[in-house]
Amino acid sequence: MSAQEVEIRISPRIADIGQAEWDACACPEVKPGVRPNDPFTTYRFLSALEQSGSVGPGTGWQPQYLSAAIGGQIIAVAPMYAKSHSQGEYIFDHSWAHALERAGGRYYPKLQIAVPHTPATGRRFLVRPGFEGSGMAALVQGAVQLTGNNGLSSLHITFCTQAEAQAGEDLGLLVRKSQQFHWRNNGFEEFDGFLSTLSSRKRKNIRKEREQAQRFGGEIEVLSGDAIQPAHWDAFWQFYQDTGARKWGTPYLTRQFFDIAQQTLRDDIVL
């Protein structure tokens, strides 16, 4: 297949690509009764961010959805954004920005292939089945060319899969590594089994914290799908704002995002 056969497009709105075409690449496993493996890259989630103003003008996340097509058929897409800051990425590159600016360069805007405000690992190069190699290569080459043609400082792909990181390196991208901390259940049948692996001091502290938590004076309910009502979002919005205030931050999602989530994402959500 020659490079001339692949057409690279940039779309400022995900609606310009369309739900059927996007999800054919993002979640081809979906069929009646089957949920997407990764709801964060679905058309519904990314569209909700855009429609609610959680990305777009004034947010520092300007959509530049990337797609590759052959003969008019879209074979691959990627959620790409022009960034004017590094907030909402959960990967910190401020030292790079400061270094380039001290050297007389301009770090922003940059291109970011990511799911906004979501530090969850998943596919970032969303390829229609049967086009895995050519689709990803076209997206990477297209994004690199766009970065160079527009004089941008850099292109970043964050929280991609390990396979994508390796494929990207094979295509000439640099790989950077960072840390996340995950708890793994190493065959523990009950919580005390986990505690037995810790020191006495840590066991004592955790038991004390759990006792305090269990005396909070209420009940825990798990809500999903149609069990989630608009009133629940009113309460959740207050919790969301409070968390941001306690962390000296500004919540990234708008109130409208949760209204849209109630309509289009509630089957993917647990409260």
Per residue in 81-129, pLDDT (tens digit) is: 999 999 999 988 999 999 999 999 999 999 999 999 999 999 999 999 9
The pLDDT confidence band at residue 4, using thresholds 50, 70 and 90, is low
pLDDT score at 160 = 96
Give the C-alpha separation, 10 to 142, whole Å. Answer: 10
* pLDDT-above-70 percentage for the chain: 99
Which region among 45-49, 75-79, 177-181 has the lowest average model confidence (pLDDT)?
Answer: 177-181
- Residue located via tokens 């990477």: 140
* Residues linked to residue 270 through DSSP beta bridges, in sequence order: 224
pLDDT at 259 over 50: yes
Measured CA distances, 257 to 44, 97, 151, 239, 251 (Å): 11, 30, 33, 15, 12
Residues in contact with 32: Cβ distance below 8 Å, sequence separation at least 6, in sequence order: none
pLDDT tens per residue across span 22-37: 999 999 999 888 899 9
Please, what are the domains in the chain? 3-170 (3.40.630), 189-220 (no CATH), 222-271 (no CATH)
Give the C-alpha separation, 43 to 191, whole Å. Answer: 38
Which region among 15-24, 138-147, 210-219 has the lowest average model confidence (pLDDT)?
Answer: 210-219
pTM of the model as a whole? 0.90
Amino acid identity, residue 79?
P
Measured CA distances, 197 to 181, 191, 201, 211 (Å): 17, 11, 12, 20
